[in-house]
Structure 1
Amino acid sequence: MSKSIKNSAVLADISRLEQANAMMRSVNHAIARDDIGALEALGFTHPHIEQLKCTGGFRSTSIGQNSRLITRLLKEGDADDQ
């Protein structure tokens, strides 16, 4: 596999993880404000919103795990470029 193809795949993974983190943070903020409209705007159904409310939203460990993976992918990409 060529380096440019690998890098584009890694960049796509990083982008997907960053978007997931942003969405999870938005959900957690909406739950803290009890903003059902914001959760609906994010595309969640009422049963899913109720489930998220019961669990308090997304766990900070999930967001942290994504952040660590992003950091690792960035480091690996830097190592590949050298």
Structure 2
Amino acid sequence: MSYPVSSIPVPIDIIRLEQANAMMRSANLALARDDVSTLSALGFSHQHIGELKQKGGFRSSSIAQNTRMITRLRKVGDAYAQ
């Protein structure tokens, strides 16, 4: 008889931060291409698209901060798993 290998579930916070980073990167790429339809498909309103264009997109420091938080949460999760 074999037993399924249990895996440590990924905390929902990590998933949300990873999704936020992916969305911000996609939005920045669409802004660089002036691709309003992609930005709309990502869920941004016309007003928000205008604000993003004015600001030059999402700051790389915001993406980096999320990445650092993901790393921290994974380390905390690994400590509890042991």
- Cα distance in structure 2, aligned partners of 1:81 and 1:45: 41
The count of corresponding residues between Structure 1 and Structure 2 is: 75
Give 4+ residue runs of structure 1 displaced > 6 Å after superposition.
Answer: none
Higher helix share: 1
- Give the structure 1 partner of residue 64 of structure 2: 64
**Residue 55 (str. 1) matches residue 60 (str. 2):** no
Structure 1's unaligned 5+ residue stretches are 1-6
Relative to the length of structure 1, the TM-score reads 0.86
**Residue 17 (str. 1) matches residue 17 (str. 2):** yes
- Cα distance in structure 1, aligned partners of 2:74 and 2:29: 27
Query: For the aligned residues, what is the CA RMSD?
Result: 1.3
Relative to the length of structure 2, the TM-score reads 0.86
User: Which structure has the larger Rg over C-alpha atoms?
Assistant: 2
TM-aligned CA deviation for residue 58 of structure 1: 0.4
Identity of aligned residues (%): 65
